Amino acid sequence: MFFSGDPSTRKRVDLGGRSSKERDRQKLLEQTRLERKRRLGLRQQNSAALKIQKCFRGRKAVEAERAKVREQFHISFGERCQKVDGNSFNSESEFLRQLLFFFNARNSSDCVLLVETCRLLQHFVRVSGNVMNLFGSTDYSSKHAIVENRVKRLAFACLQAVHHNRDQLKDQLLMSPESSSVPTVILLEAVVTLTDPNLPWVCKVVGYLSQRNTHGLLRDIVLTGRNVKTRDTSQSRSSLERVVTLIASHIGQHPCSCSNSDSRWSFSSQLLSIPFLWQHFPYLKEVFATRGLSSHYIHQMTLCFHGHANVLPDDISHEFPGYACLLGNILETAGAAFSQPNCTFDMAIDFAAVSTFLLEALPPIKSSITANSTLGEAEMAVDEEFVEVLSKDLERQISNAIDPLFLQQLVNVLFKDASSSNGMHNADVVAVGAVCAFLHCTFNILPLERIMTALAYRTELVPILWKFMKRCHERQQWPSLSEQTAHLSGDAPGWLLPLAVFCPVYKHMLMIVDNEEFYEQEKPLSLKDIRGLIIILKQALWQLLWVIPGKSSTFQKSATNFSDHKRLSIHFIQHKVGIVTSELLTQLQDWNNRRQFTPPSDFHAQEAVDDIFVSQAAVENTRAYDILKQAPFLVPFTSRVKIFTSQLAAARQRNGHNAAFTRHRFRIRRDHIFEDAFNQISVLSEEDLRGMIRVTFVNEFGVEEAGIDGGGIFKDFMENITRAAFDVQYGLFKETTDHLLYPNPGSGLIHDRHLQFFHFLGSVLGKAMFEGILVDIPFATFFLSKLKQKYNYLNDLPSLDPELYRHLLFLKHYEGDISELELYFVIVNNEYGEQTEEELLPGGKEMRVTNENVITFIHLIANHRLNFQIRHQSSHFLRGFQQLIQKDWMEMFNEHELQLLISGSLEGMDVNDLRANAHYAGGYNEEHQVIHIFWEVLKNFPSDYQKKFLKFVTGCSRGPLLGFKYLEPPFCIQRAAPGDPSEEDLDRLPTSATCMNLLKLPPYRSKEQLEMKLMYAINADAGFDLS
């Protein structure tokens, strides 16, 4: 066909690649699907409409029939049951059948009829004295099905009526049976009558009530009545309590044959989760604790929680979450339940499991004790992410329930049949797992003041756990405790949970125990056992920090996020065990430093001695560095000193120690060295203090001394300033009986600016350590602990005041009535003749010391002397010290090691090491005859003379910790005479320049002469003045 000029006739092309036929087919299929869906919807609508109509017609017919029966009932028995007699309740009568058929709790007239029925029931029971005869006449056995059906429906109707009208009847809900004319009491007492445990139908009735969610109705009734202020104040039980007690005490008890009801509507879920249930039902509390009910219901809860079923009702409010209320109620009765002779091991295991499950969901509870707490430090992590805040009363209920007696009973029940043989029984493993899981959660939630002391001194928990761990370690087989918590994987180390509990409790014991108990009486563990414990702790800590790949260190960064890490998750427990194990080992190391009972190397991890590990530990953000921060004792002391020395060298390099020009030069008068140094150095900034400082001395005539300070004069200045400032005559420091220095508590009486002086002296000591200058200042251990910001305890007191320590021990072990000694919670301070009296606690002047509070008194006294009295001086000294020495540097060392860093090694001088690192000047060399004689004489000196020689030439009687290779400047022997010495030259004494570690030695001609002159010089403390 030819082209007509009309473009509309052109063939259309689909650029999508599909033909129009295919597109039309898909459209048709979609339309068909939608049509089919529309028809299905219509059919469902019609079906639903039919069901609704059928239900409505059925309900309407039933209501019509009920109205008809109600009308017949009124005719037959009267509108208020006027025509009812005793025979109306038996199985032949239509009275109960009709009443229960038309009864509706929403109908007020029906409720009036029910109340009147219950009143008549009570009346006829009192008259006849037999409920069975009233319902079953004389032939109960043949009519028992009818009777049981009517009785259980009547009981349920009574509870329905109370529940539906609870708001109108709220003033009556907790009234006692004495108020017999009150409708609520009449209804509830009818239920009490019908559920008498002696009646043959009681199982059927209680079972029916349980199936109809009666505990949910009772929960609503109790919650409505608990807020009413005007309630019955008589001593008798309320009718509501009688009902709850009868129903609760029947279920699960022999010979109960009730069918199991839904756990969501059980007594445990619905009623035990009511806040402070026992305040409203004290008799029920007694029954629950003493008649075995707790065992049944707690076991029931165990089964639910093991299945991870959420069976608790909705929370009343965010302040009263159901799980916390449930926990408070079962804890409050646990002590009484454990004290019962029929309390079983299985019941204690179930209790521990349920309590642990609930505790894990609980936010931390802060201590009410905010000041003067002597029993510990902030030990546990606090979850700042938690927004849930419990009611203070609920927190108090939970805290008060976990009291010393409860903890003692729990441990006794779990371990009363503990195996005494060397074998490992399954019951021992289960008991250890249960108590450790429970206590681990408790430690991370509740305040620790009372808990730790109770566990340490009122239970045998520490010996029991140690015995368990010792057995496992000896057998090299740790049983899995993963069954005690769903969060622990099967391959979790078996020592994890026991250490999580053992370490903090034993650590607390070590804070309170005295030196005699620890070293002499070997309580609570023998020294041999402690040596074994150190090995277990060290191996566990190394596993956590190094072997287990990255888990602990990774978790450490996010440990405060409780929402991600449950308290019983393996990561959280690993983190906590790493902390408490490290703290306990640190404490045991302190005890070993006081009096050695094991070689110091026992605290070192063999793997940490490796040079590769030490090199990694010096680099931040490595696992070796993290170990050095958290558990420095695992690394040998010499390795840590090398790391510290390298850190100091790097810090000096950063602060321009190699600069050509010195920014700060000070003129110091020798006879006013402290005042001049304080006025000039105390105004320097932290950066300036870290920089190079040079000193020029001015003599008593005001003339500058000759010499250029190349570092030696500054060292001499540091030695002189420390000697002057730390002299007890100056009044800033005092001496212990062992001649160890500590801040003078009365320094403020001598110097107005004493706190500024302490800040300055902290800077001076920090500068000496920063520059690597050893100063011979012996500090008391309890003061050195302040440089680590640690707390001192009773066992530190002997170093300060051994007489006071003996008196306190006398009180601790006094067997008589301490109150007769007329002691009060006050302490008398006597500084320079001025006596002041301070209260150890608010109101201490009126608080007498008794046998119950004597331990607290003892530790408050120790705290006052070791911490409180010197707190201001110590804090200012620490601030000055930390201007130059970082806190994390000090955390690498304990107090004993800090003293070594300050003053050098305590060991005897190594003459061979000194000779290998000696330099010579003025004509001397290593092969010179005088030098040979000198080393021979020095080597033959006794140890105390060698120390005197070292002090003579270096200013300190102790050598560098890492050897004389690290002495700055190096030790040098200089010839102190011209090439051809005269007799006068040879008659001179050896002299020294301690600022340069320089010995000026004349070329004596004989060994005897050199020995005599050298001994005379070192005993006369000759120095520059004999040059």
Q: Which residues are catalytic?
A: 995
User: Any residues with CB less than 8 A from the CB of 594 and at least 6 apart, and which?
Assistant: 515, 781, 795
Q: Which residues pair with 693 in a beta bridge?
A: 664
Output phi, psi for 686, to 5 deg: -60, -40
Tokens of 1000: 């000026």
Cα separation, 298 vs 355, whole angstroms: 9
CA distances from 577 to 482, 486, 574, 859 (A): 16, 18, 5, 27
| Contact assessment for residue 878 and residue 890, using Cβ atoms and an 8 Å cutoff | no
Amino acid at the residue 784: L
Mapped onto helix, strand or coil, the DSSP state of residue 33 is helix
- The DSSP secondary structure of 466-484, one letter per residue, reads HHHHHHHHHHT-----GGG
Amino acid at the residue 239: S
Output phi, psi for 845, to 5 deg: -65, -25
Tokens of 384: 């700042």
CA distances from 87 to 120, 133, 135, 193, 855 (A): 11, 10, 8, 18, 73
Mapped onto helix, strand or coil, the DSSP state of residue 106 is coil
Handedness of CA 189, 195, 199, 205 (dihedral sign): positive
Closest to 552 in 3D by CA, of 584, 582, 532, 586: 582
Q: Which region holds residue 129: left if phi is over 0, alpha if psi is between -120 and 50, else beta?
A: left
Tokens of 88: 């109306």
Q: Which residues pair with 993 in a beta bridge?
A: 998
Q: CA 487 from chain center: how many Å?
A: 20
Cβ neighbour number for residue 837 with a 10 Å cutoff: 11
Closest to 652 in 3D by CA, of 618, 693, 681, 682: 693
For the sheet with 991-993, list strands across it. Answer: 919-921, 972-975, 998-1001, 991-993
Q: CA 466 from chain center: how many Å?
A: 20
SS (H, E, C) 794-832: HHHHHHCCHHHHHHHHHHHCCCCCHHHHCCECEEEEEEC
Closest to 873 in 3D by CA, of 736, 735, 755, 724: 755
CA distances from 34 to 28, 30, 31, 38, 45 (A): 10, 6, 5, 6, 17
| Contact assessment for residue 968 and residue 985, using Cβ atoms and an 8 Å cutoff | no
- For the stretch 603-631, what's the b/e string if a residue is b when 16 or more beta carbons lie within 10 angstroms of its beta carbon? bbbeebeeeebbeebbeeeebbbbbbebb
Radius of gyration for the alpha carbons in the chain, expressed in angstroms and rounded: 43
Tokens of 610: 């490796």
| Contact assessment for residue 612 and residue 620, using Cβ atoms and an 8 Å cutoff | no
Closest to 221 in 3D by CA, of 251, 181, 191, 253: 191
| Contact assessment for residue 626 and residue 582, using Cβ atoms and an 8 Å cutoff | no
Q: List helix spans (H) across 84-238.
A: 95-102, 108-128, 131-136, 140-164, 183-194, 202-211, 214-225
Cβ neighbour number for residue 194 with a 10 Å cutoff: 27
| Contact assessment for residue 177 and residue 236, using Cβ atoms and an 8 Å cutoff | yes
